[in-house]
Structure 1
Amino acid sequence: MTDEDGLLDGELIDGELIDGELIDAVRRAWAETLGIDADEVPLDEGFFDAGGNSLLLLLLWEQLNGLTDRALRATDLFQHPTVRAQATFLVGGS
């Protein structure tokens, strides 16, 4: 089953199975940080292009840190700047 964005309940991205709930959680974290509706958060646009700045990135980092057991550094968000890339990274992808 897919949603309006074409995401599967579990989506294969770059060889990693990403749980739809994790993508939604990352998207909600972005929405709260950026002060927009989750439906408006782009999946494939960088955080800074979506309206973020370095201070907001640190707030996002705090929120994402609690989503999985994987250790997340603020610098990881620069290397994985989109919702999809961050969800992939959080499940152990590159």
Structure 2
Amino acid sequence: MGGKTWSRDEEVYFWRSVVPVSPKAVIETGLRYTWAECATRMKHYFERLGQRPRRQYTKLMLFEHYYQNVETGHKSPHGKDLVAEHKWQLGEPVLP
């Protein structure tokens, strides 16, 4: 995964607000967005906070971030605890 490291704010919003309504949501809430819709929501979230988004969020970027952290064992420096929390929700063993 190349590019800038995700900030803690990006990680928190991604794992706590985006993933639960993404195609990879663990719990069915009746609310589900495509990765493209999730990317738009993430961009708008940071704009509403008055922050310029640190990157151009795309459906591929969000899926890759999810995949790298959940499937390959890559650990985002600012999101390790959030990834562990998601893996626990998936019923996967959480390794330090």
- Normalised to the residue count of structure 2, the TM-score between the two structures is 0.36
Task: Tell me which structure has the larger Cα radius of gyration.
Answer: 2
